[in-house]
């Protein structure tokens, strides 16, 4: 494993990456952990969250800080309140939705690391003028080992 250095992070010093369903602050990048994991703080507006999807490369662990989420993992949906932790192994369909009336926040840990680049690439794609080409979004997801499913 690659040697890493101690890292101290204050979320106020990290600019958020924004995309259509929420925003995230990358607290630990893959290179900070020797590739072991990445950690992102997600901020989700009411009703926000991604479509059902799988990550072929990473497992994802959700830890709710504020608000109320419904989290689907496989065929089971759980109501996750602050202090709840939900784990989704790689290749298992999952999604989360802020079901509360105010903004919600959670920490997501991706194991192994690297998922942060997908969110940065998605934010860059969505920042262009006009609507996003669905083929371009599908290609982006595929390049990161992500498969989306219908609602």
Per the confidence metrics, is the pTM higher than 0.85? yes
Domain assignment of residue 8, yes or no:
no
Domain residues for 89? Answer: 16-148
Domain assignment of residue 129, yes or no:
yes
Residue 3: per-residue pLDDT: 56
Domain assignment of residue 87, yes or no:
yes
The pair of structure tokens assigned to 102 is: 């105010």
What are the CA-CA distances from residue 121 to residues 3, 114, 144 (Å)?
A: 27, 12, 10
Q: Using pLDDT thresholds of 50, 70 and 90, give the confidence band for residue 2.
A: low
Give the whole-angstrom CA distance, residue 140 versus residue 134.
10
Domain assignment of residue 10, yes or no:
no
Mean pLDDT along residues 132-151 = 90
Domain assignment of residue 11, yes or no:
no
CATH number at residue 59: 2.60.120.10
Q: What is the pLDDT of residues 89-136, one digit of tens each?
A: 999 999 999 999 999 999 999 999 999 999 999 988 888 788 888 899
Percent helix, strand and coil across the chain, each to the nearest 5: 20, 40, 45
Asked whether the predicted pLDDT for residue 10 surpasses 60, the reply is yes
Domain assignment of residue 74, yes or no:
yes
Domain assignment of residue 122, yes or no:
yes
């Amino acid at each position: 494993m690659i040697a890493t250095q101690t890292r101290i992070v204050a979320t106020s010093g990290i600019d958020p990456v924004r995309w259509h369903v929420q925003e995230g602050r990358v607290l630990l990048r893959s290179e900070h952990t020797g590739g072991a994991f990445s950690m992102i703080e997600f901020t989700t507006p009411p009703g926000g969250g991604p479509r059902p999807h799988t990550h072929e490369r990473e497992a994802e662990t959700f830890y709710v800080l504020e608000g109320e989420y419904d989290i689907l993992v496989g065929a089971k949906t759980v109501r996750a309140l602050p202090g709840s932790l939900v784990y989704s192994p790689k290749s298992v369909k999952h999604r989360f939705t802020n079901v509360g009336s105010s903004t919600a926040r959670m920490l997501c840990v991706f194991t192994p690391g690297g998922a942060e680049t997908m969110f940065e690439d998605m934010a860059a794609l969505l920042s262009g003028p006009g609507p996003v080409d669905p083929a371009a979004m599908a290609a982006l997801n595929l390049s990161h080992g992500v498969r989306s499913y219908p609602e």
